[in-house]
Amino acid sequence: MHSSISPSEREVPDGQWGQTLLIAVLITCLVVGGAETIVRRQGYQPTVPDTRELWSFHRSRIYDDEGKSVVLLGASRMQTGFSPRVFRNRFHDYHLTQLAVSATSPLATLKDLANDDRFVGIVLCSLSPSALQEGVEGAHSQSRNVEHYREQRHTWNVEERLKLQFVNSHFAIARPQFRLRPLIRQFITGTEFAAPGFISKQLDRSQRLDFQKVDVEKQRARRVGGTIQFYEKYVPETPSREDWMATARALKPYIDRIKSRGGAVVLIRFPETGEHWRLSVSHFPKEEFWDQLSELTGAPTIHFKDVPGLAIFDCPDTSHLDYRDTDAFTNALLDECVRQKILPDHE
């Protein structure tokens, strides 16, 4: 498509092109607005892709001159079970950063924070005994996130941030399943839309699980099946306590380094129920493993079974809390942190 005129004389074709464009924008807004309304009525919610760029962005914001920085580490339980809103309401002078990554071990990030002399703050680290089992860290490490941050931190992608902040956080139709290619594929193959998911991911990297939107029985079976596979792959019937303790002891220098700068590390055992809990205690009896952790690492620990306020919650899939329980759970957890003098008593 070309114009026959020379560049210095490029003409605008006849017609009210300003008006034409405005009408087109109006039509687009109406259609997009309509589509957004329809998909929300179907139960779809905005969701923010949890990318390494987003993790790196949050990683770059953990610094606080007064040391009032709290970093959350762990895996999906920390992402779904801890309510940032509750924390901010109670500790509004603290800067909270969610660095937990679903289905990973947090040790690489813990070590990275320890080696970062600029970081002064409190680390709330969700940990399962199985995370210290030989082979787990290698296969489920957060090291790729750390590497990505180290490589990319000077060129934080503004584009990504704009998209996440203004598009993904606000529009349900920005979900991947409503993109053009999947839509065309669905049109050609005649398949139906996938049901609205029960996970909603936020810009602060927290996640909400709404178990009312999912078949809980199926979800539980899937979760338990995955956990059994995990144990079969990584954890022997009777794991070596000495090896486990050596791994735990190896964390002490890192935790000490954070403490030497005026910070703190707390190791937290999030709730598990049903088959998940049975598997865990059968392989890693609490008294033999978890209860030794504080002495081995030098970090205070919080186990949900030890705190009445934390032990009352049910995990619909045996491993994660429903979002309706997270406010109460977070309050109870923060109460325990205050009781152990990890966080100040603002009341």
Partner 1 sequence: MTFNSLSFAVFFGVVFCLYQLPVSWSVRKLILLAASYAFYAAWNPPFIALLLLSTVIDWVAARQIAASPTFTIRRLWLLCSLSTNLGLLGFFKYGNFALENIASLLALAGIGYVPSSLNILLPWGISFYTFQSMSYTIDVYRDEMKAWTSFTDVALFISFFPQLLAGPIMRAHDFLPQCLHSRTVSFRQIGWGLSLVTLGLFLKTVISDTLLAPVVDSVYAEAAPPGALSAWCAAFAFSGQLYCDFCGYSTCAIGLGLCLGFSLPDNFNCPIAARGITDFWQRWHITLSTWFRDYVYVPLGGSRHGLFRTMVNLFVTVVLCGLWHGAAWTFVMFGVVHGLLMVLEIVIRSTPFARIRVWKTWGGQLGLTLLTFTIVTLTAVLFRAQSMGQAVAMLKTMFGLSDTTPSTHLDTVDVSIVIAAVEVLFLSHLILRDTTIEAFAARSPRWARSLVLAGMMMAILFSGGADRAFIYFAF
By C-beta, is 190 or 308 nearer to partner 1?
190
Q: Residue 149's closest CA among 52, 71, 61?
A: 52
Residue 168 DSSP code: I
Distances (CA, A) of 40 to 44, 48, 56, 147, 173: 5, 16, 30, 37, 8
DSSP codes, 106-165: THHHHHHHHH-TT--SEEEEE--GGGGSTTHHHHSBSHHHHHHHHHHGGG--HHHHHIII
CA 279 to chain centre: 24
Among the candidate windows 163-171, 235-243, 249-257, 298-306, which touches partner 1 by CB under 8 A?
A: 163-171
Minimum separation from the CB atom of position 51 to partner 1 (A): 11
Minimum separation from the CB atom of position 41 to partner 1 (A): 19
190 near partner 1, judged by CB under 8 A: no
48 near partner 1, judged by CB under 8 A: no
Q: Assess contact for 267 and 297: CB atoms under 8 A.
A: yes
Interacting residue with partner 1 among 90, 95, 163, 286 (CB under 8 A): 163
Laid out side by side, the sheet with 95-98 consists of: 95-98, 69-73, 122-126, 264-269, 301-303
Interacting residue with partner 1 among 20, 115, 282, 340 (CB under 8 A): 20
CA atoms within 13 A on the CB side of 181: 1
By C-beta, is 63 or 178 nearer to partner 1?
178
Total residues contacting partner 1 by CB under 8 A comes to: 47
* Binding track, positions 121-160, relative to partner 1; x by CB under 8 A: -------------------------------------xx-
Among the candidate windows 24-32, 222-230, 252-260, 309-317, which touches partner 1 by CB under 8 A?
A: 24-32
Residues in contact with partner 1 by CB under 8 A are: 1-25, 27-28, 31-32, 158-159, 162-163, 166-167, 173-174, 176, 178-181, 183-185, 188-189
